Amino acid sequence: MASALDRLSVGPAELVRPDRDFDFTLDAPFVPLRLGDGRWRLLNTSFCEEPYYHSFTGTADHLFAESGLYEMDYNGYTSFRGSGVWVMSAYKYPDGMLAGFCHRELLHPTDPGFGNSFFIGLAVSHDGGARWRYLGDLAGNVVNGMRYLPNMGGCPLLVRDGWFHVYFNDYDACGLCRVTAIRISVEECARAMRQDRLPPAFKYTGSGVFESDPMKTTGARILPDVGFHPDSHAKGVYCRPLDRYLLTMQTNAEARLLLFASRDCVNFDEWMVLDEAEEGRWMQPYSFFLSADGDCSDDMITVGSRFYVYYPRKGILEHEPDAFGYDHDDLYRRLITVN
C-alpha cells in the first residue's frame, strides 16, 4: 500500500559536529527556537556533568557559533543530586510565552535500584527560553518508586486541533514498556501557565480516546509493532506539504532511528528507517528537526518541504573504549525533501 512517506527523499548522513567538539555529553534533544534575525537558539539539558543547562545561538549552517547557559527554577520541586528537570520540547504562543514539556527524574540518593521516579512535566518561559519555571508534573507511571528504572523518555510534541499531544515511555505493573501519550488543551494550558498552575492532562486510553488518569494508570500503546522497540527520547513535527504528523523514535541497542507518520496524532500506520548503525554499539537518541528553507514555525512545531533531522550516533556500551561509551556523541543530520 502506498505511503505518504514514499514522497520523502532522505539524504545521506552528514557529520555536523564530532564528539571532540562537544564539551558536555548529549543527554536530551536540542530544543530549537527561531530568533528574529535569522538565527536559532538551541537549548540542551545534560545532567552528566555541570553545568546542566546549555544554550547555543547560530545560523542553520553554524548552529553552535555562540554558547551560553539557560536557567531553570525548580519551584520547590527539589531533588537529590543527579536528579533534575530536562526541557525536551517547546511551544511558542502568539504573545511569546513558551510552554516547555519536560522530563523529570527523582533518583534515590543511596540505592540507585530502588525508589526511582520519573515524570513528564510542564515549565514556562516568558523571555524566549533564557529562564524557565517548572510548574509541576503532568504524568507519571505505575512503577514509580519500585525496583525499576522506568525512564519515561523525551517528550516529542505534536499539536493538532487545539490539543497538545506529548509522547513518552510508559510502564505497566510488570515493568513492561510502551510508548503512549497525554493530551492537553492548548488554550487551557495557556490560562494555567499565566496563573502559575498546571492544566488538566489525559493519558491515552486506546482506540483514539484520551481519558485516563495520567499519574495513576498505564497508557495504551500508541505506536504499531514494527519489529523494533521504540524509545521516545526523540521529537515530533507537523509537515505541511506532506499533511502528516511525524515522530522520530530511537531503538537503543537495536541501532535504528525510525520515522513514524500519522494523520491524526494517534494512528501511526506509516513508518520508515531513517538511520541504521552497528547493533549493540551505537544508538541514535535525542533527534530533532530543523528547517532547511525557513518555512517553519518559530518553535519548530511545523516544517515545510525541506528540513533536517539531526541525531547523534552515541556509544551504548559501558566499560568500553570512549568511542563506544555514552559520553561519545557524533552529531549527524540528514536532509529530507518532500517531493
What are the tens digits of pLDDT across the range 256-304? 999 999 999 999 999 999 999 999 999 999 999 999 999 999 999 999 9
What are the tens digits of pLDDT across the range 315-328? 988 767 667 899 99
What is the reported pTM? 0.96
Least confident of 61-70, 105-114, 157-166, 259-268: 105-114
CB 159 within 8 A of CB 237: no
Q: Which domain holds residue 216?
A: 4-338
- CATH number of the domain enclosing 205: 2.115.10.20
Question: Would you state the pLDDT for residue 83?
Answer: 83
Count how many domains the chain has: 1
